[in-house]
Structure 1
Amino acid sequence: MAAEREGNRERHPVGATAAGRPQRTRLDQPRALRRRLLPEWDPDAFGRLSERIARFLGTGRFIVWMTVVIIVWVVWNIAAPRHLRFDEYPFIFLTLALSLQASYAAPLILLAQNRQDDRDRVNLEQDRKQNERSIADTEYLTREIAALRMGLGEVATRDWIRSELQDVIKELEERQNGHRPHAVFPADHPRGRDMDDR
């Protein structure tokens, strides 16, 4: 034990500070920011911007404006004085601008479609869960209605009570015709109900 303490003292002398020890990464503190060579951006904001551009590219307004720009471009470079023309007849700069616009439009449209697919997938999942809940609720209500029907099958209905009362009246009438007369109900007895009960 003493030898172990001596070894610890040699490794960490009494006057040593924490600066002399090797630093460990602490889990209770955020990591220091690292510099990156590539620019950083918010993917959600970029996706929203690409959707806005893709929506605009799919409108008639964009086609009209692009047609107007191309017509003005061509007319200017044909009819304007030669020293004011910036793109002569083969219109190479116009072709370059249109191909550049198309090369950016295609990925932006694909990105917007991917985001829409993600939203559709989430909506489909929510609809599926809602359908499962609706089916479970419907099955529960079906079981409850079946249990109520089974319970109602054992409850006396008006027709059943009427038929039972008619049977009792017939039986009482048969007794009355065959034996000494009895009142159908004790309240109908001329001496009152309590006289027979004594």
Structure 2
Amino acid sequence: MANTSRPRRTESRLDSPKGLRSSFVPRLGEPSDRFGRFTETIARGMGTPWFLFFLSVFCAAWLTYNVLAPEGWRFDSAALGFTALTLILSLQASYAAPLILLAQNRQDDRDRVQIEQDRQRAERNLADTEYLAREVVSLRLVVRDLASKDFIRAELRSLLEELDRDKSSSVD
């Protein structure tokens, strides 16, 4: 009999790896890792000296052009306090803060997972150490009950001496 049931979608299957279940477009309520990586890249880039250098060069070029260029070629007036530049920098700052916060939240999540893994690893190490300590103690107890080489030699010597005494007393 042919299987007439529709094959299940891989997104709803729990027996398939997560990588196979994910789709290109994230579902509502599911965090997109691509966006998180993007925010981290932006935040990481904004935290470099190169970003500050290029932002300073951009602002200096903007100000220089709008001060020294002929009046008809200027696009941001110094008389109005360089309004366009102020808006651009405000827009950049308004996007930078949430992107940096998102990147920090992702880092906090990674740190939390790492701390949990470290805690579990420490618990396993403690359990292993306690097990090994118990094994060492049990081996010490077993070794204490075992006859040592010197003890066996001493016992054999005493038996030989006893046999020699018995032989000498039976010969007399």
The bucket for the TM-score relative to the shorter chain is 0.7 to 0.9
Aligned to 1:86: 75
Deviates more, 1:154-163 or 1:164-173: 164-173
Aligned to 1:114: 105
Mapped to 2, the partners of 1:165 and 1:43 lie a distance apart of: 80
Compute the TM-score of the two structures, normalised by the length of structure 1: 0.67
Structure 1 residue runs without a partner (length 5+): 1-27, 29-39, 182-198
Cα distance, 1:59 vs structure 2: 1.1
**Any idea what SS the aligned residue of 2:75 has?**
coil
The structure with the larger Rg is 1
Please say if 1:170 is aligned against 2:161.
yes
Compute the TM-score of the two structures, normalised by the length of structure 2: 0.76
Number of residue pairs matched by the alignment: 144
Cα distance, 1:76 vs structure 2: 0.4
**Any idea what SS the aligned residue of 1:84 has?**
coil
**Any idea what SS the aligned residue of 1:82 has?**
coil
Where has structure 1 moved over 4 Å in runs of 4 or more? none
Q: What are the within-5 Å matches in structure 2 for residues 88-103 of structure 1?
A: 88-89=77-78, 90-103=81-94
Write out per-residue CA displacement over residues 53-72 of structure 1, whole angstroms, 9 at most, x where no aligned residue: 10110111111110110110
Aligned to 2:32: 43
Letter in 2 for 1:166: R
Aligned to 2:133: 142
Mapped to 1, the partners of 2:152 and 2:57 lie a distance apart of: 90
Aligned to 1:152: 143
Measured on the aligned residues, the alpha-carbon RMSD in Å equals 2.1
Letter in 1 for 2:45: F
